[in-house]
Amino acid sequence: MRAGRQAGNLPGESSSFVGRQHEVAGGKRALSRARLVTITGPPGVGKSRVGLRVAAQVRRRFPDGVWLVRLAELDDGALLPHTVMSILGVGDWSLGRPIDALSEYLVSRRLLLVLDNCEHLVQDCADLANALLRKAPRLRILITSRQVLGTDGEHVVTIPPLPVPDSAAEMFSMEPAQDCASVKLFAERAAELAPGFTVDVANCDAVAEICGRLEGLPLAIELVAKWLRTMSVEEILAALDEWPETGAAGLPGPGVQPGRHHETLPAIFDWSFELCSPAERRLWARSSVFADFDLETAEAVCSDEVLLQADVLELVVGLVDKSILSRQDHAGRTRYRLLDPTRQYGRQRLRESGEGDLLRRRHRDHYSWLAERAEAKWFGPEQVAWNERMSSEHANLRIALEFCLTESGEARTGLRLAGALWFCWVGGGRVAEGRYWLDHLLPRATEPSEERAKALWTNAWIATLQGDVGPALIMLDESRELARSIGDDVELTSALCVSGYAEHVRDNQRRAVAYLEEALAREHAGGQPSAVTVVSRPILASTVLLLGDCERARALCEECLAMRDSYSVPWSSSWALWVLGVAAWMEGNAQQASSYARECLRLKQQLNDLVGMAIAIELLAWSAVNQDAECAARLLGASHTLWREIGRPLFGFAPYVARHRASEEQARRVLGPQAFDAAFEDGNNLTHHQAISYALGAPV
């Protein structure tokens, strides 16, 4: 049975939640009756806050977790399934449609998926929801969007503005439990800025009028409450009264009919923008190019001779205080983000300033630099930390790649970025997404270049992992020829390594040996290994092992492991341990094979390498079959779940598939069909965390 830690990724609330009891209760009721619920309403009304509160209060209903997917930063609907898979931690390996792999993962899970800010991807979200709900009977989806999806089975919960008092007298005549929510929100946010602030007889008229003028829009109220830093309540009301009666930027005047929220919020943004210092305004606009960011990144991208780097921290703090930026702390790092309406406003201001293209290029350049730095650091002791860092920056990397793909003349830079991210695609389980970017960029930058040579072998590696070896070999032929023609020894060596891997997977072992030995000879001649050439050792070891040379296979793996002292490369080391385990298993030493497999699994767990975890558990099953057939059956069930999600069991590699089948048949013979099926199903029902714990020796 599934149990253990509370799954999901819901963030904690960064500020108090005011009112909305009726709306939250309605959302909970809707989720109990319908599998697709859309929370809708105008901008700034608090759809996301209500949605997250609903999700938090129903999380106990979903043992497989409540998972938030923020979509405001995603512009390309084709990447929607990849985005959801990334949040859920699903292996993105399949050559088929990503939606199919995602459906397979969700088919037996009781899970709530929260898709936040869907209005710009309505059709894509509708298609995704329909496909997933058809395949996954215990899945529920909660949408927040300004626009409903309009699909069958959708239950709509409309969020109105907060109630506002008709008068100060009415405000003070209410019972405490019925206090006007808009006034309570204003008072709480004001008190955060000015401790001790309360709504009293002296200011109640002005507060009531402010909340009415803001039409009860929570975002507008929160922003205006922060004006108390520089203005009194009465001065705020007077300022609002000065706005023209109509106009795109004006607040609605006293004679304007209520319900024109599309005018209220932009007007408040205008006024909040004016109350910022010139430097804060500039940072607000410039930071709109990010999905989210940390301080170091803001300093790198947003500063110049006008907005000094030394001032960025103070400016960020000021924008947080004004509720323009929200802050989120995670794993010891602080990140900042603009809420979607404030980001859209910032982008408008950035365009008006004439800096839009400049900042988008600076953003792209920064993330290109970060990718290349990460690639270099990934070959070393900080590999795990850089995996986590690049995962947190993935939305920004997508923005940078999208810029390269859509802007004229930027495709070559896009190839450089996508190629530098090979370790994210191959080592981080984002295989299908890497294929998407490279398949789109390569036809747009066909001139001979180092960038193209690298992008070709990167895409070929991805294609091989997907089982698409034919196109991979064509790309590798071009990559090797191109690297030779331009005299690029680094990319030629890497292309040879990947060529060896592709031939290994297609079971052409002697050609694989030739490519891999040439690559290692070039590495020795150059005197400097790389992450790619180091991992070629366990690939070559696996190849010669299949040719019957166990002694050389062990020597190659030991050579790879010996490099840990100089380079500390857990990804390569984990594969070397796996091949050592296979060698021990082939020689009949099941105990030693299990020891290597468990050490491999621990490293794969640190790297969050789903494929690596699956193949390590697979080897443990092979090793257990003679000593404990029930354990072997349970491990085969656990690996089956992982392979089903990945989409290509054992890479479709015939020798390994044959060993899997032989182990399964042997365990079935020993246990009998009924006992085998029961143990297999026990393993199949384990969560990833439970499967790993069991494989490492914990009881089921």
Torsion of CA 388, 390, 396, 398, to 10 degrees: -120
Please say if the pLDDT value at position 252 is more than 50: no
- CA proximity to 251, closest of 212, 298, 301, 286: 212
What does each C-alpha distance from 475 to 166, 464, 478, 496 come to in angstroms?
A: 70, 11, 5, 12
Please say if the pLDDT value at position 331 is more than 50: yes
- CA proximity to 145, closest of 129, 159, 162, 163: 159
- CA proximity to 592, closest of 551, 623, 625, 560: 623
- CA proximity to 653, closest of 560, 550, 545: 545
For residues 284 and 327, membership in a common domain is answered with yes
Per the structure, the count of domains in the chain is 5
The alpha carbon of 370 is separated from its chain's Cα centroid by a whole number of angstroms, namely 17
Contact 148, 40 (CB under 8 A): yes
For residues 42 and 184, membership in a common domain is answered with no
**DSSP per residue, 264-322:** HHHHHHHHHHHHS-HHHHHHHHHGGG-SSB-HHHHHHHH-SSSS-GGGHHHHHHHHHHT
Question: What is the mean predicted confidence (pLDDT) over 367-373?
Answer: 98
Torsion of CA 421, 422, 428, 430, to 10 degrees: 90
3-state secondary structure (DSSP) of residue 686 = coil
Q: What are phi and psi of 336, to 5 degrees?
A: -125, 150
Q: End-to-end distance of the chain based on CA atoms, in angstroms? A: 9
Give me the domain span that covers residue 296: 278-354
Structure confidence at residue 246 (pLDDT)? 37
- Residue 27 burial (CB count, 10 A): 24
- Residue 284 burial (CB count, 10 A): 27
Please say if the pLDDT value at position 348 is more than 70: yes
- Looking at per-residue pLDDT, the higher value among 679 and 89 belongs to 679
Residue pLDDT, tens place only, 406-423: 999 999 999 999 999 999
- Which residues, in sequence order, are bridge partners of residue 488? none
Q: Is residue 2 part of a domain?
A: no
Q: Is residue 213 part of a domain?
A: yes
Question: What is the mean predicted confidence (pLDDT) over 439-460?
Answer: 98
Task: Give dist(CA 157, CA 159) in Å, integer.
Answer: 6
Structure confidence at residue 244 (pLDDT)? 52
What does each C-alpha distance from 496 to 484, 547, 579 come to in angstroms?
A: 11, 20, 21
Q: Residue 30: give its domain's CATH number.
A: 3.40.50.300
Structure confidence at residue 268 (pLDDT)? 87
Encoded tokens for 71:
């979509």
Amino acid making up residue 350: L
Question: What is the mean predicted confidence (pLDDT) over 639-645?
Answer: 85
Residue 240 makes CB contacts below 8 A (sequence gap 6+) with 210, 213, 224, 251, 271
pLDDT band at 545 (very low <50, low <70, confident <90, very high): very high
Structure confidence at residue 186 (pLDDT)? 93
For residues 521 and 666, membership in a common domain is answered with no
Structure confidence at residue 253 (pLDDT)? 35
Question: What is the mean predicted confidence (pLDDT) over 214-226?
Answer: 91
Contact 601, 689 (CB under 8 A): no
For residues 184 and 258, membership in a common domain is answered with yes
Structure confidence at residue 300 (pLDDT)? 97
Residue 614 makes CB contacts below 8 A (sequence gap 6+) with 639, 642, 643, 646
For residues 131 and 194, membership in a common domain is answered with no
Structure confidence at residue 249 (pLDDT)? 35
pLDDT band at 48 (very low <50, low <70, confident <90, very high): very high
For residues 540 and 444, membership in a common domain is answered with yes
Task: Give dist(CA 629, CA 617) in Å, integer.
Answer: 14
pLDDT band at 243 (very low <50, low <70, confident <90, very high): low
For residues 224 and 283, membership in a common domain is answered with no
Question: What is the mean predicted confidence (pLDDT) over 344-371?
Answer: 97
- CA proximity to 116, closest of 162, 53, 60, 61: 53
Q: Is residue 6 part of a domain?
A: no
Structure confidence at residue 275 (pLDDT)? 87
For residues 494 and 388, membership in a common domain is answered with yes
Q: What are phi and psi of 222, to 5 degrees?
A: -65, -40
Task: Give dist(CA 326, CA 49) in Å, integer.
Answer: 13
Q: Residue 294: give its domain's CATH number.
A: 1.10.10.10
DSSP state of 133: H
Encoded tokens for 84:
């959801």
Residue 426 makes CB contacts below 8 A (sequence gap 6+) with 434, 458, 461, 462, 465
Please say if the pLDDT value at position 5 is more than 50: no
For residues 90 and 136, membership in a common domain is answered with yes
Q: Is residue 682 part of a domain?
A: yes
Contact 287, 302 (CB under 8 A): yes
Q: Is residue 700 part of a domain?
A: no
For residues 379 and 334, membership in a common domain is answered with no
Please say if the pLDDT value at position 108 is more than 80: yes
3-state secondary structure (DSSP) of residue 381 = coil
For residues 603 and 659, membership in a common domain is answered with yes
Residue pLDDT, tens place only, 151-198: 999 999 999 999 988 755 555 554 433 478 999 999 999 988 888 888
Structure confidence at residue 167 (pLDDT)? 58
Q: Poorest-confidence range of 37-41, 85-89, 400-404, 553-557?
A: 85-89
Task: Give dist(CA 637, CA 690) in Å, integer.
Answer: 12
Q: Which of 354, 369, 385 is the last residue of a domain?
A: 354
Structure confidence at residue 2 (pLDDT)? 37
For residues 135 and 193, membership in a common domain is answered with no
Q: What whole-number percentage of the chain has pLDDT above 90?
A: 70
Angle formed by the axes of helices 122-135 and 98-106, nearest 10°:
50
Q: Is residue 245 part of a domain?
A: yes
Structure confidence at residue 245 (pLDDT)? 46
Task: Give dist(CA 595, CA 40) in Å, integer.
Answer: 54
Q: Which of 332, 354, 376 is the last residue of a domain?
A: 354
Question: What is the mean predicted confidence (pLDDT) over 271-288?
Answer: 94
Structure confidence at residue 168 (pLDDT)? 53
Q: Is residue 3 part of a domain?
A: no
What does each C-alpha distance from 351 to 282, 326, 401 come to in angstroms?
A: 12, 22, 20
Label residues 494-520 b or e (16+ Cβ within 10 Å = b).
bbbbbbbbbbbbbebbeebbebbbbbb
Angle formed by the axes of helices 531-546 and 570-586, nearest 10°:
10
Structure confidence at residue 648 (pLDDT)? 73
- Residue pointed to by tokens 């790619």: 532
Rounded to the nearest integer, the mean pLDDT of the chain is 90
Q: Is residue 587 part of a domain?
A: no
Contact 156, 38 (CB under 8 A): yes
Amino acid making up residue 128: L
Structure confidence at residue 174 (pLDDT)? 45
Structure confidence at residue 263 (pLDDT)? 66
- Which residues, in sequence order, are bridge partners of residue 68? 114
Task: Give dist(CA 162, CA 44) in Å, integer.
Answer: 11
- CA proximity to 56, closest of 31, 91, 81: 31
Structure confidence at residue 169 (pLDDT)? 54
Please say if the pLDDT value at position 481 is more than 60: yes
Question: What is the mean predicted confidence (pLDDT) over 125-136?
Answer: 97
Dihedral sign of CA atoms 673, 679, 682, 683 in order: negative
Q: Which of 539, 573, 607 is the last residue of a domain?
A: 573
Q: Residue 500: give its domain's CATH number.
A: 1.25.40.10
Residue pLDDT, tens place only, 50-104: 999 999 999 999 999 999 999 998 999 999 999 999 999 887 776 678 898 899 8
Contact 209, 237 (CB under 8 A): yes
- CA proximity to 269, closest of 349, 347, 345: 345
Encoded tokens for 385:
């930390």
Element (H, E) at 333: strand 333-338
Residue 641: HSE in the Cβ half-sphere, 13 Å Cα cutoff? 24
